[in-house]
Amino acid sequence: MNGLFRRAIPSLYACGFLVTWLGICLTEVYSAPPEIRIETPVTPPVWALLERELLKTNATACEEFFAKYFDERGFLLCVERWGGDDGPDDAMENCNDWPLIHALGGSDRVLAMYKHAWEGHLRQYTLAKTTEVPFARDGMYYKEFPVTMDWLHNGEGLTVFNLQGLSDPDDPAFQKRVRRFAGFYLNEDPGALNYDPQHKIIRSMFNGSRGPLLRKATGVDWAGDPIEVKGRFRLGHGEDSYEAMLLHFKDYNDIIGDHPQNLLATSLPLNAYLLTHEDKYRQWLLDYLDAWCERAAANQGVLPSNIGLDGTIGGATDGKWYGGVYGWGFTVFDPGSGKPANRNTVNLGIVGFLNAYLLTGDLKYLDVWRRQIDTINSHARVIDGKKQYPRMFGDQGWYDFQPAPYDQGIAEIAYLSQRPEDLERVAGAPWFSYLAGKNPGYPEAALRRDLEGVRSRVRAMREDLTTPDTRLSDDPMQYNPASVESLVQLMLGGIHPGHRGSVLHSRLRYFDPVARRAGLPEGVAALVDSLGANTAAVTLVNTNQLESRTVAVQAGAYAEHRFESVSVAGTAVPLGDSTFQVTLAPGCGARLECAMRRYAQPPTMSFPWNRNSLSR
């Protein structure tokens, strides 16, 4: 019978509630999630077939990429370097989005490949040493972590690692590293006292396993050792010589003190909390975020880009709240283009606010970011008859005016808050328009776009004539075939985490209770077509015409939400937990409407069958 709950396989985890539906009364406490059986035949929709094809194609293409650019040790076949132009972070970025492919239901081979690449690159860049950069002369990695670098680059290099827990949280090496990496910021390692607990600051923009760099940075610190460029390498910033590389970083000096991009580091204690539920990680993160909330409030609603070692706004940049490398006033000469370039990375700090919101569901963390957006846009001017909005602030006030309003982070704010006024700001975005019922062709178009992305990058990879001694670590990155944005949106009702070391934010996730792994079972497709503050609707389809499939549906990327009830064909059943199971008969499918309480439970990496029910 379509939608009938029945007793699931025993001993997954304690649920603690009773179900009565369609005259069938179960009067015992469940030891596993309730299960819905779907027996309504459906012709496989085009979107479902496209999803399964995209998952398969992604995995196959990643295997070809891995075979070409990595060796049997997991080393990337390139010239190893330190620096902001090209460095250790770029090596692991070549596997960006591979954890998402597996966590969505892609081949186990993808998990094995990116783990092998992670282990290999740790060894590769521990062995790689500099001659001119003082802090990397004994290895670019120390204790399996960057010795000291800014979080624009640290975050990029940790993108893969910070998502491994979606698929493989029980790996012993992963667990040790999660704790060790977080410990670098909780001052648990005496050689890496990055954090000042009194002033609640990360003490420098350069920080890592050897601690903070508490002096002005030099061009060499950023550019790395001398290197032959012309005729051999094509640098991403357009430089044609080592001298141009040094010129690029000539003014990247004022790194002492805290900067909002250091908020990317909060993903490390967040992952440690998701793994262990030790309160010290949660408390550290919230203490640090609360300090930034206070700084924004004291600075007329805008996050300052420098906090001095004494905890004062602008304390290391002559009192200028907008000072410092990557600050609001950081405009430098770009030798590649021959023009000034505005390089403000305050926007990266939103990751920390999203992390705090995941832990608490407290809208105050989103309000800080929303207030910053509104404050910046309040300084709009009419220039040449058109209203324009600033992006930068310097000694002469706001500058870098552009026709579009400043909107860094507004999509994340709208997605998480689900407030009508926030959703109105992103109403024209294709995915948000689809969720509002106004863009029905979006799923197929988005999936076909990502399929084309895989195809075009594989074609370019096959045409790549570079050799290991003529490519840097970021050169293969343009050919990384992984294309998953549409799958994250459509399958999970989630937002792509980007390539900045963020965790995943999604309304749903799936697990295969038979194979005991993350992701949708083989042949199953999912389409989230509606999200509300307390609701989500998803259609599940078994494209396999011969075999049944069972899928565990989880509320949230880390079980941070709770299902209050689920309805199939108009019949609702109370739930009161973070997971339920659906068994899909061959070739069958249905739309499930879920009533939810968001951020009702402590988030966790644990798979459904390994955890007990938690509540706030």
Percent of the residues in the chain that have a pLDDT greater than 70, as a whole number: 94
Which of 143-152, 276-285, 330-339, 371-380 has the weakest average pLDDT?
A: 330-339
Which residues on neighbouring strands pair with residue 402, listed in sequence order? 389
Task: State residue 32's pLDDT score.
Answer: 63
Q: Is 100 exposed, middle or buried (0-12, 13-18, 19+ CB in 10 A)?
A: buried
Identify the helix (H) or strand (E) that includes residue 505.
strand 505-506
Predicted pLDDT of residue 20: 28
Name the DSSP letter for residue 496.
-
To 10 degrees, what angle do helices 46-69 and 442-462 make? Answer: 20
DSSP 391: -
**308-332: pLDDT as tens digits:** 999 999 999 999 999 999 999 999 9
Query: Can you tell me the distance from the alpha carbon of 183 to that of 189, in angstroms, rounded to the nearest whole number?
Result: 6
Cβ(484)–Cβ(110) below 8 Å: no
CB atoms within 10 A of CB 35: 20
75 neighbors 123 (Cβ within 8 angstroms):
yes
Residue 15, pLDDT > 80, answer: no
Residue 2 and residue 551 in contact, taking contact as beta carbons nearer than 8 Å: no
Residue 616: pLDDT above 90?
A: no
Cα dihedral sign, 238-241-242-246: negative
Q: What is the pLDDT of residue 66?
A: 98
- pTM recorded for the entire structure: 0.94
DSSP secondary structure letter of residue 237? T
Token reading at 412:
């994340």
Taking only the tens place, the pLDDT of each residue in 155-207 is 999 999 999 999 999 999 999 999 999 999 999 999 999 999 999 999 999 99
Got the DSSP string for 527-575? EEEEE-SSEEEEEEEE--SSS-EEEEEEESTTS-SEEEEEEETTEEEEE
Q: pLDDT confidence of 236, banded at 50, 70, 90? A: confident
Q: Please, which pLDDT band fits residue 25 given cuts at 50, 70 and 90?
A: very low
CB neighbourhood size of 379 (10 A): 14
Q: Name the band, by pLDDT with cuts 50, 70 and 90, for residue 611.
A: confident
Residue 24 pLDDT class (50, 70, 90 cuts): very low
Helix (H, G, I), strand (E, B) or coil at 158: coil
Question: With 0-12 CB in 10 A as exposed, 13-18 as middle and 19+ as buried, what is 77?
Answer: middle
Q: What is the pLDDT of residue 238?
A: 83
What confidence tens digit (pLDDT) does each residue in 379-437 have?
999 999 999 999 999 999 999 999 999 999 999 999 999 999 999 999 999 999 999 99
Say if residues 214 and 195 touch (Cβ distance below 8 Å). Answer: no
Residue 490 has pLDDT above 60, yes or no: yes
- pLDDT confidence of 18, banded at 50, 70, 90? very low
At residue 23, the pLDDT reads 27
| Per-residue model confidence (pLDDT) at position 612 | 58
Q: What is the pLDDT of residues 566-579, one digit of tens each?
A: 999 988 989 999 99
pLDDT at 248: 94
Contact 284, 269 (CB under 8 A): yes
How far apart CA 235 and CA 474 sit, in angstroms, is 9
